[in-house]
Structure 1
Amino acid sequence: NIQSSSNNNGEKPVYAGFDNGYDGLASPVSVSNGNVVPSIGDAEELVGVYLFRINETFILDSQSKYILPMFCPIIDIERYGSIEKYFLSIDNFGNAQRSYRLRTEETFLPAGKVFIRESDRLVGETSWSDIAANETNEFNLGQDPDLQYIENIQLNSRR
């Protein structure tokens, strides 16, 4: 989808969906001010460069934005709690770290800032470096208030 928004008149963003009625191009969408949002075709990647078919020239109003669809990678992601443990002879308690392990089978993920959502709730943000296809990346977002642990220590001695 292409998203177009303008900050001049407080309009909500306009989305132009992709359909097959325009030879692979998105159908034109009219904005309430009478302008037509250009039709944008699906992205094609060539050595990390993304190409888009556009049916007409863009006319950008001041303070307007166009967000183009880059790619939609399939990501395997696993959430787990991690505890860093040192052996002590006293009882211990605390919160586990909210940790994630992700992997993409076929897609390179470029470096950048990432926002993590769970059940439509923002749980944190992180930055990562470039991640190659089939590479595993692990990161954590700090202590998870929902995941607590209690450790009871029992010393046994043998003589």
Structure 2
Amino acid sequence: MITDPERYRFAADSMHGISTVAIICTTCSGGDEEAAVPVQVFDYLFPSIGDVQKIIDEHENDVHGVSAEVLRLAAVLVTEGPRHGSPSMLQRRLRQGHGVAVSFDESLAILARLQEAGVVGPVDPHKHSHPVLLDRAEALTALEVTT
């Protein structure tokens, strides 16, 4: 069974007799189909389910591996001040105030985990940020339940 099947999709293309299949992580693309970057591309052969699961597990650990401590810290940061969550805000505030360096993809993964826990809502396309749905105490409680 593929980890979080809603997060991954497959794209296939055939050009000049060569078939290409790509595994795409929708979290890493921020939901933007144009910005989708494949996790892995296969030419000629479609991988077995076991191979696909291994690739997705490696991707999850490498890119979406977010420690519980960083997740709690992110929940505190989004619930204070302007009460919104954007990848760049998380990157900046984690680095400046707490010495934690995360990439843009990692900050997207953190926001995805916060959304799964109900701390933030879906991204507002006009503001390019996630609205905060819970106060700090509720957010930390929600994270304890989901992690």
Would the TM-score normalized by the shorter structure come out above 0.5? no
Structure showing greater radius of gyration is: 1
Bigger fraction of residues in strand: 1
Q: If the length of structure 1 is used for normalisation, what is the TM-score?
A: 0.26
